[in-house]
Amino acid sequence: MFRTFLRSKIKGARITGVNLEYEGSITIDEDYLEQADILPNEEVHILNVNNGNRFTTYVIKGERGSGIMELNGPAARLGMIGDKIMVLTYAMLGPDEIAGHKPTLIFVDNEQGNGR
């Protein structure tokens, strides 16, 4: 039997932009993606700390070093610039993988919202 566990988390980032005229996704700074081991087009769960919205989308790689966290398409309606968010990924683990599993946690804490 496989169970689902947290694989990675980006915590404390702030929404830096919203772009309604897009088919849907979140654009994330390539530095954050590498640190959290998240790939472009990978499914992510977004938790908006400010308004409680939780949704699933996929990742678009943003410019390295930009601090970008931009909600695109319909997701742009679920947060405002400056809202604090968490980005989560999960993994299915078999019984032999569970004991040694440790999620990757990235902490971004910057009042400007760009993590730099």
Residues identified as active-site? 25, 58
Contact yes or no for 57/85 (Cβ under 8 A): no
Using alpha carbons only, give the angle 91, 95, 96 rounded to the nearest 5 degrees: 95
- Using alpha carbons, list the distances in angstroms from residue 65 to 22, 32, 90: 23, 9, 25
Question: Quick one: which of 58, 75, 61, 59 has its CA closest to 19?
Answer: 75
